[in-house]
Chains A and B, each alone.
Chain A
Amino acid sequence: MGQMSDHLVIDIENITKDYVMGEEIVHALRGVSLQIRRNEYIAIMGPSGSGKSTLMNMLGCLDTPSSGRYEFNGRDVSAMTDDELASIRNREIGFVFQTFNLLPRADSLRNVELPLIYAGIDSETRWERAATVLREVGLGDRLHHKPNELSGGQRQRVAIARALVNNPSIILADEPTGNLDSKTGEEIMVLFENLYQRGHTIILVTHEGDIAQHARRTVRLRDGLIESDDGGFDDIGMLPIEGPLEATYT
């Protein structure tokens, strides 16, 4: 923590996102403001249709807002080109997907080195770094296994290693335990906790309360607006100690 944690990684002000669905215009986000500091562990929750996925796509720089301002590490993202966004995603954001999204025919090492290829790093460094993060997530003995030779939990660990390998500013996990049984899911949540303890910034998108309670801050969305945010950025230094509102979502 300390003074580094005062640095705003994500600064969103009043963003909206509209989709045209046939004749209708869907207002997925109706004016959302959110600030996330370095080394926060934040859960974004909400029922389906709340705009949760849309917000996640914005945060992940996969999409740009219809209006409003989005600054990532002080850089205005809202007006960037596709390739500039790709570069931000590559260097600053580590994605963890519900369905792992590994390349089926590539072994763990090749899956993990993929972001480094797009970053233009030489093969020797790539393999070294990929092997290091795979060891960090406990897969030091699975470097040359392909996804279909790994269990669900191991696959998600490969995906997390891939998210970590470029040393990103945030890790954006979309329902990371959604395809895992509860025991394996817990192991993954322990891994996230470790990463948080080591100073990573983690954004968890989920609709499961008991997963969200691992986070230190919970933002709830409903109908394209923030309904509640229990960890306001004003007192980020004094993060809430107890898990947020676990009883509500069971």
Chain B
Amino acid sequence: MKRFVYELSESWKIALAQMRSNKTRSTLTALGVIIGIVAVTLMGTAIAGIQVGFDKSMAIFGDDVLYVSQWPWKPVDDWWNYRDRKKIKTEYAEPINRIIAATPNSNLVIAVPTSSLLRSVKYGQSEVSNVLIRGTVSDYLITSTFDFSEGRFFNEVESRGGANVCVIGYDVADALFPSENPIEKSVLINGQPFKVIGVISRQGTFLGLFSLDSIVVMPLPAFQKYFSAKSKSDILVKVKDKKRLAEARDELTGVMRRVRGLPPEKKDDFSINEQQALKSTLDPIKNSIAIAGLFITGLSLFVGAIGIMNITFVSVKERTREIGTRKALGARRRTILLQFLIESTSLCLLGGMIGLGIAYLMCSGIGKAFPSFPVRFSLSLVLVSMAVSILTGLFSGFAPAWSASRLDPVAALRYE
């Protein structure tokens, strides 16, 4: 054991001396690892960034809200069983709320109806198309998580009365009112004027696919008056305790069956969705993107590793006589193996540290230039990169180190 420690420290000294005396060669070889580590690390930060964005997008749905919808949020194989389902009606909210109120110790808090479709929104000469128009009630705020940068949400009176008022998302406000305050202005939707009473603060995008800020929310009666035809409705139900989501789900299923008047032998003709279900649908996609990304960038690291392997083979060849001398002086196979493994590993570790430094600078540069671009640099990333560097060194050094340790001392001493 003691001998192992002495041999180890001796090997470190040799490795450092070797790198110092072959500066150009070591630098060029390390370059391969540097590039590899930069690529892998940047990919890692991008994946971490995507994860954060993903979680943020998921948070929009709320982890304590159940969605009663016509269809499930995940792909199904037997779509024909779902095809003929009846639409969800906003009127269901009322009986659901009545049942919740009548149930002691209910796991549900409140049901909120929503109904949506896409329309363009106009103001003066400006127009934004494909805006999500949503009708709902004032209790919508209980199930959703957004703030207002200007103004307010509509109150219960406006909600019930179906006043022609609306709140608009950041993108809509930005496009229609670039230099004005939108509050108290009237926007035209389907030719109908709606008075803007609030602007929702910026929400960002959902997985980078579509903007969550391209939205107009108005009282449900007003929405139904003008847009009910092709709209799609859901009932949002807030849960009391998100740790007991499954129970809440079962309770809501029972409530919905009562509302729809389903006899016991009939299957559910509606779906109760939740954030988790969507997550489990999207997670595999996200993971395969991550794996593919890491695999491709990993290839560049692999090329770097081959460079290290090559240079270690050259080093073994050049120092064959030295290996012979060391063996004559009593170095065992393990000692020689260790020496060359440490040489290749320290080269990789050096490359890894430089690469990590470069990746860090690039990350903070990207972060400054494009604040919305998802990059995350973390301590665990540093540790993983270091571990990957060391593993790369061990991997690439093993074959040459093994061949060095197997050298016949007589032949090695005679080698010219």
Bound-complex Cα distance A125 to B10 (A): 15
Is B6's CB under 8 angstroms from A122's CB?
Answer: yes
Q: B17-40 toward A: CB 8 Å interface, digit per residue (1/0)? A: 100010000000000000000000
Among A87, A117, A121, find the residue whose CB has the most chain B CB atoms closer than 10 A. Answer: A117
Is B332's CB under 8 angstroms from A114's CB?
Answer: no
- Chain B residues with CB under 8 Å of A129's CB are none
- Chain B residues with CB under 8 Å of A115's CB are 329-330
Is B325's CB under 8 angstroms from A117's CB?
Answer: no
CB distance from A223 to the nearest CB of B (A): 20
Q: Does A249 contact B (CB under 8 A)?
A: no
Bound-complex Cα distance A60 to B410 (A): 10
Q: Which residue of the partner chain A has the closest CB to B331?
A: A118
Is A97's CB under 8 angstroms from B330's CB?
Answer: no
Which residues from 207 to 233 on chain B have a C-beta closer than 8 Å to any C-beta of chain A?
Answer: none
- Chain B residues with CB under 8 Å of A60's CB are 328
Interface residue tally for chain A (C-beta within 8 Å) = 28
Other-chain residue from B17, B330, B409 in contact with A118 (beta carbon distance below 8 A)? B330
Q: Does A214 contact B (CB under 8 A)?
A: no
Is A63's CB under 8 angstroms from B410's CB?
Answer: yes
- Chain B residues with CB under 8 Å of A97's CB are 325, 413
Is B328's CB under 8 angstroms from A89's CB?
Answer: yes
CB distance from A197 to the nearest CB of B (A): 25
Bound-complex Cα distance A118 to B329 (A): 8
Is A62's CB under 8 angstroms from B410's CB?
Answer: yes
Q: Does A70 contact B (CB under 8 A)?
A: no
Given A62-B409, A122-B6, check contact A114 B328 (CB 8 Å). no
Other-chain residue from B17, B21, B328, B408 in contact with A95 (beta carbon distance below 8 A)? B328
Bound-complex Cα distance A162 to B326 (A): 12
Is A114's CB under 8 angstroms from B410's CB?
Answer: no
Q: A109-121 toward B: CB 8 Å interface, digit per residue (1/0)? A: 0000011011111
Q: Which residue of the partner chain B has the closest CB to A103?
A: B322
Is A162's CB under 8 angstroms from B329's CB?
Answer: yes
Q: Which residue of the partner chain A has the closest CB to B322?
A: A103
Bound-complex Cα distance A63 to B322 (A): 17
Interface residue tally for chain B (C-beta within 8 Å) = 25
- Chain B residues with CB under 8 Å of A76's CB are none
What are 13 contact pairs spanning A and B, CB under 8 A? A62-B410, A86-B330, A86-B333, A87-B330, A87-B332, A90-B329, A97-B413, A103-B325, A106-B17, A114-B329, A118-B330, A122-B2, A162-B329
- Chain A residues with CB under 8 Å of B409's CB are 62-63
Q: Which residue of the partner chain B has the closest CB to A60?
A: B328
Bound-complex Cα distance A63 to B329 (A): 14
Bound-complex Cα distance A114 to B324 (A): 13
Is A101's CB under 8 angstroms from B330's CB?
Answer: no
Q: Which residue of the partner chain B has the closest CB to A56?
A: B410
Q: Does A57 contact B (CB under 8 A)?
A: yes
Q: Which residue of the partner chain B has the closest CB to A90?
A: B330
Other-chain residue from B6, B17, B325 in contact with A120 (beta carbon distance below 8 A)? B6
Q: Does A82 contact B (CB under 8 A)?
A: yes
- Chain A residues with CB under 8 Å of B327's CB are 62, 86, 89
Is B2's CB under 8 angstroms from A120's CB?
Answer: yes
Q: Which residue of the partner chain A has the closest CB to B10?
A: A117
- Chain A residues with CB under 8 Å of B325's CB are 97, 101, 103
With A86-B333, A119-B3, A122-B2 already in contact, 14 other A-B pairs whose C-beta atoms are closer than 8 Å: A62-B328, A63-B408, A83-B334, A89-B329, A89-B330, A101-B321, A101-B413, A115-B330, A117-B3, A117-B7, A117-B10, A120-B2, A120-B3, A121-B6
- Chain B residues with CB under 8 Å of A82's CB are 332-333
Q: Which residue of the partner chain A has the closest CB to B414?
A: A53
Is A83's CB under 8 angstroms from B333's CB?
Answer: yes
- Chain A residues with CB under 8 Å of B6's CB are 117, 120-123
Bound-complex Cα distance A91 to B410 (A): 18
- Chain B residues with CB under 8 Å of A89's CB are 327-330
Q: Does A7 contact B (CB under 8 A)?
A: no
CB distance from B103 to the nearest CB of A (A): 78
Which residues from 299 to 333 on chain B have a C-beta closer than 8 Å to any C-beta of chain A?
Answer: 321-322, 324-333
CB distance from B356 to the nearest CB of A (A): 29
